[in-house]
Amino acid sequence: MEKPSIYVDYAASTPLDERVLQTMKPYFTDNFGNSSSFHKIGMHAKEALDSARKSVATSLGARPQEIIFTSGGTEADNLAILGFARKNKEAGNHIIVSAAEHKAILEPAIALKKEGFDVTILETDAFGMVSRELVLASMRPETILVSVIYGNNEVGTLNPIQKIGAGIRKYREAQKSLYPVFHTDACQIAGTEEMNVQKINVDMMSVNGGKMSGPKGVGCLSARQGVKIEPLQYGGGQEQGRRPGTENVAAIVGFAEALHYAVQEGATEKQRLTDLRDYLVKGLKKSIPHIRLNGHPKERLANNVNLSFCDVEGEALLLYLDAEGIFASTGSACTSASLDPSHVILALGLPPEVAHSSLRMTLGRSTTKEDLDVIISVLPQVVEKLRAMSPKSGNERFYE
């Protein structure tokens, strides 16, 4: 009997929406010009680029000139952290990030520390959430930047971004200061959470095309007008001099289209995914003893299920599930080659063995209830088999 093919790794990558593909096609062939060229073919590309920028700005509640196109979420995060800090170091040398950020935030922050910046890495609560009170208490006159992830890419916890942003704005008004500027990594929330930068009170926001049924290798940083950023590379005047290099018009057009659909169809899809997520968690908890749901039980991404299984290695789970035609992950695809335990799960205050026993399943547009029924049927058998081969750790207290 042929094995099913069930993909539950949408946090790592999503299939390209057919509508997006059709929008992109002309810019690979007919309208192939360089948008910086001053002739008719180049001007056609420039018009498409300008139209895409306006569309992205509309989707995010920003101005077109505030949109900086990048190669994806990692570059957008690096530009926000490194580019902003270096440009504004005369105003202050203190930045704040959380311990549960994506490595695209944490590693630039560590790099800045080596350059002489003072970096505060905030602890999270047991769910991986950063409190507004802790952020505000950690700010001081020399703080120029705060970055808190919107929806955690591993455990799915949603941070109170709107409240944190409102608190930072109130602080700035009281201090009569332009600082600190507030950034959020929003790469995982497109299509399920509010993305209007005005409504959520953010000054900079990173978005990734490959996480929302758009093309890979493209994203953007929305940076409020007046927020000054130093480019990370040099060689051209594209993106108002903030990100030089010939723009990938086809990818940018696809990115704009994917973001439009994500925003327009988000409310309906969020409810569908939330129902499926809760159905999967309930089914697995009922059939597998000694498991734990990592991240906040309610304030979490609609499509994220991150579970740890007592006395089971996450990598072994992946291999067995792969053989059954079920494709998941143990955490961020960006760090999948590392044997180190997840820094996010460690940030929840859990020991390395719990981090090593984690499995992340993220749902998407093609996920059905029938898919989840297969997982609920197969996974308990796999866990039982692996536990039979594993020595008992005595760590049941960390699990339900």
Tokens of 207: 């978005």
Tell me the residue ranges of DSSP E strands in 178-279: 181-185, 204-208, 219-223
Contact 145, 96 (CB under 8 A): yes
Determine how many CB atoms are found less than 10 A away from the CB of residue 399. 18
Torsion of CA 288, 293, 299, 305, to 10 degrees: -70
Q: Which two three-digit tokens encode residue 265?
A: 């169809």
**What SS3 class is residue 145?**
strand
Does residue 75 contact residue 107 with C-beta atoms inside 8 Å?
no
**Eight-state DSSP code of residue 149:** -
How many CB atoms sit inside 10 A of residue 198's CB?
10
Contacts of 292 (CB under 8 A, 6+ apart): 307, 308, 354, 398, 399, 400
Q: How far apart are CA 246 and CA 176, in angstroms?
A: 39
- 187 carries an active-site annotation: no
The catalytically annotated residue of 187, 220, 310, 334 is 334
User: Which residues face 327 on adjacent strands?
Assistant: 7
Alpha helices by DSSP H, the chain: 18-24, 40-60, 73-78, 84-87, 103-114, 132-138, 161-175, 249-264, 266-287, 314-323, 343-347, 352-356, 369-389
Look at strands 6-7 and 291-293 and give their pairing: unpaired
Tokens of 112: 């800045």
User: How far is Cα 376 from Cα 209, in angstroms, rounded to an integer?
Assistant: 31
Catalytic residues: 334
